[in-house]
Amino acid sequence: MAEVFLFHHAQGLTPGVTAFADVLRREGHTVHTPDLYDGHTFDTLDEGLAYAEKTGFDELLDRGVRTVTDAPAELVYIGFSLGVLPAQKLAQTRPGARGAVFVHSCVPSSAFGTWPARLPVRIHAMEADRLFTDEGDADAAHALVDEAADAELHLYPGDRHLFADNSLPSYDAGATALLLDRTLTFLRSRDADDIDA
């Protein structure tokens, strides 16, 4: 089974992020959900982003990187929106990564160097999510698909941003079910035993 670090979005480590991780755990994967907000969660995205800005995005990124200090190298990194920042940095810069899954967001690979040649990545977002389409994430996602040897961009019908968090009003059950199915298929393909066999 895969070992995963799943980084939460700007509203914090909500029950919905934990619920997503729990589905992966029930399939036998080891899933860590670091809390980069020290227990704080927020009812709205604006409140969460204000907290992130006050804390500092560089500080949050550093907190994410520090959470894996004692972890093995062979990890899959998953990020939800803001959590894509540490997930993508670690996937690109920490040797041994088995894969990456970016949900609701994507950063230009140039922010952290270049994309590792053999590292597979899956990107998921709603096709009309303006935070994804209008702020450069969609362009970054398409560029990463062109750059990486094994990359897929999955776009879902709708315009919601944090659609995969079942504790938020933006939750979309159908899209999340498909996201989970695709993520579990991806994690099975990243199983260390299968890769090493």
pLDDT tens for residues 134-168? 999 999 999 999 999 999 999 999 999 999 999 99
Does the pLDDT at position 4 exceed 60? yes
With b meaning 16 or more CB within 10 Å and e meaning fewer, what string describes 49-79?
A: bebbeeeeeeebbebbeebbeeeeebbbbbb
CATH number of 3-192: 3.40.50.1820
Mean pLDDT, residues 173-192:
93
Does the pLDDT at position 193 exceed 80? no
Residue 190: pLDDT band (50, 70, 90) is confident
Mean pLDDT, residues 90-117:
96
Q: What is the pLDDT of residue 192?
A: 53
Rounded CA-CA distance 91/115 in Å is 9
Residue 117: pLDDT band (50, 70, 90) is confident
Calculate what percentage of the chain has a pLDDT beyond 90: 94
Report which of 32, 30, 31, 37 is spatially closest to residue 14, judged by C-alpha positions.
Answer: 37
Alpha-carbon 106 to chain mean position? 9
pLDDT tens readout for residues 40-80: 999 999 999 999 999 999 999 999 999 999 999 999 999 99
